[in-house]
Amino acid sequence: MKDALGRPQSVAVFGGTSEIGRAVVERLVGGGTARVVLAGRDGAALENVATDLRHRHGARVDVVPFEAEDRATHARTVEAVFAGGDLDVVLVAFGVLGDQTRDERDPGAAAGVVETNFTAAVSVGVAVAEQLRRQGHGALVALSSVAGERARRSNFVYGASKAGLDAFYQGLAAALAPEGVHVMVVRPGFVKTRMTAGMKPAPLATTPEAVADVVVDGLGRGAHTVWAPPALRAVMVVLRHLPGPLFRKLPV
């Protein structure tokens, strides 16, 4: 449960080695969060993150194996994540960028991006929602993207998968609100991470640490949708309403 000041005391991250997920955890444990659960595929990398958090912050950190592409295991994995007790914040931070050139020509590759970013995120979200309903409190945070706001030539396979995720978690927010559970969708722009290494940064490019600041601020305010950086909200309002012929001429 949150402390007397409303600060989360426990957090779980699906995609525990993601740079944004780790930055959010760093911000929370720096503010007093004492228990962390990291769920992810790479056990050695998870243990490295866990060891660092224990050493520098004295946090209690548990590691749970998680494979996004194996939906049959999701319910069991979510049960393991909640096995240590109630969780105040659950962050869904896994995903893949894909390769647009390959994905728009290869049906299997395109479906793989959608399977990870949308189908797996829905499957995990449903299982986590059941646990949060049982608790009657907590926040579920999902990493979407501005790419889901309007399909762009440069990354429409990835954007389509994030548009689906975004719509699902917005609906889940309405479904869980009467049961005391808060759902927040995060829409980052270009974030300088391993995933975007070698790519030319887009305007308003940001960092995992800046995204984490937006997430923690949004949780404190009880926001349902946040943008990282916040200026992207106004930018996307304009882009969303541009006529198609004009939008397609933009270098995006």
169 is catalytic: no
Nearest to 208 by CA among 140, 143, 137: 143
Among 158, 168, 190, 227, the active-site one is 158
**Proportion of the chain in helix, strand, coil states, percent, rounded to 5:** 50, 15, 35
Residue 142 to residue 119: CA distance in whole angstroms: 13
Using an 8 Å Cβ cutoff, are 206 and 226 in contact? no
Residue 108 to residue 78: CA distance in whole angstroms: 27
Residue 27 to residue 8: CA distance in whole angstroms: 11
Residues annotated as part of the active site: 158
